[in-house]
Amino acid sequence: MHILSTKDLPDSYLDRLYGRTLDIEKYSYRYTDALKGKVLANLFFEESTRTRISFETAMYRLGGQVLSPNIKDSSLVKGESIENMIKTISQYADVIVIRHPVEGMVSKLAKHSDVPVINAGDGANEHPTQALLDLHTMLKFNQKELFERTNLMFTGDLLYSRTIRSLLYLIKRYTDIRVCFANDIEEKNIPFSEYFIADEKSIPEFLSATDILYMTRNQKERHIEGKNDTKFILTSELADTMPDHAIIMHPLPCNDELPEEINNNPRAKYFEQVKNGLWTRMAILWLMLRDYDNK
C-alpha cells in the first residue's frame, strides 16, 4: 500500500498506527532488528530537514538501511526519465520516500514503482506523514477524550500549506472539533460544512478559547512576489492569553510568525512533534514492511 494522501487512509489504519506508535515509543528496544535486511530509498527533489532525516533515522532504528542518492549525480542529468529512475530504484529498495515540488507528481511516480511509495510532500498538495504525526501529537496532548468539544485554530499560509490540507482530511473524522481559520482560505480546500474565519481583530478573542493552535509559515517558495504573505505573529503576550492546557503546534521550519521566545512557553509542542515524527515514521515503516498479518 502506498501512502500518498490522508484521504484514502482507512480509520482502522489510523487506529493501528496510533497504537503501534505508542508501543514503539515505549518499547523502542524491542524493534532494533524489526526491519533488518530492508532498504529504504529517500528521493528528495526539494529541500528538507525533518522529513528526510527522520525517515533515515526511523529506518536505522528499525535495523534497516537507507539509500540517499544525490539527484544531481543521477542519470537524470543524462536525460533519463524520472519514471524510469523510479522503476529502477524500486528494483533495489523495499520502500521509496519521495518529495517533489510539483503537485500530484508523487502519485504519478508511484504508478511506476514496484514497491510502496510514501509521499513526503508534493508541492502545495499533501504531506500525509506530517499530518499523521500531527494527529498523534494532538491525541497525545489534548486532554479531552477524542477531541470532545475541542477548538482548533489554524494560522498562517492556509492556501499553500500541504500539511494543513492533509491534516484537515484526518481531523474531519472527529465530529466534535470546531475549526477556526485565522485568514482566508479557498472554500474548496475545506472539507467541513461549518467553520469560523477570524480576522486580525478577532484573533485574540478566538485564541483565549483555543485548545490547539496550529501555525504555519508563509510558503514563500510557492508565492508570487509575496502576494499571499500572511502577517500573524504569535507574541508571548498573545500566547499567554491561551488557556493553560492549550498546545501550540507548527510543522516547522518556522519564520517570523513564531519567535524563538515561544519555545520556552509550556504550551509549545512543536519539538515534541519532531520527536513524535520519528516514532510515527517508525510505525509507518513497520506497518508497511513488517505487519504481515494485516496485508
Instruction: Please state the closest distance from residue 251 (CB atom) to ligand CP, in A.
Output: 4
Query: What is the crossing angle of helices 270-289 and 11-26, to 10°?
Result: 110
Pairing of strands 39-44, 65-67: parallel
User: Of 95 and 252, which CB lies nearer to ligand CP in the complex structure?
Assistant: 252
- CB-wise, 130 or 151, nearer to ligand CP? 130
Peptide bond into 253 cis (omega under 30): yes
- Comparison of 19 and 253: residue with beta carbon closer to ligand CP: 253
Give me the least distance between CB of 49 and ligand CP, in Å please: 4
Strand, helix or coil at 231?
coil
Contact 179, 154 (CB under 8 A): yes
Name the active-site residue from 21, 51, 150, 280: 51
Catalytic, out of 72, 78, 227, 295: 78
7 classed as catalytic: no
Selected catalytic residue, list 2, 20, 38, 50:
50
Q: Is 99 a catalytic residue?
A: yes
Smallest gap from residue 61 Cβ to ligand CP (A):
18
CB of 120 to ligand CP, least distance (A): 7
112 given a catalytic annotation: no
Q: Which is nearer to ligand CP, 141 or 270 (CB)?
A: 270
Residues that bind ligand CP (CB under 6 A): 48-51, 121, 127, 130, 251-253
Is 50 one of the catalytic residues?
yes
Do residues 65 and 40 lie in contact, with contact meaning Cβ atoms separated by under 8 Å? Answer: yes
Burial of 222 (C-beta count, 10 Å sphere; 0-12/13-18/19+): middle
3-state SS assignment for residue 169: helix
d(CA 134, CA 251): 8
Catalytic residue flag (residue 188): no
Show which residues are catalytic: 50-51, 78, 99, 127
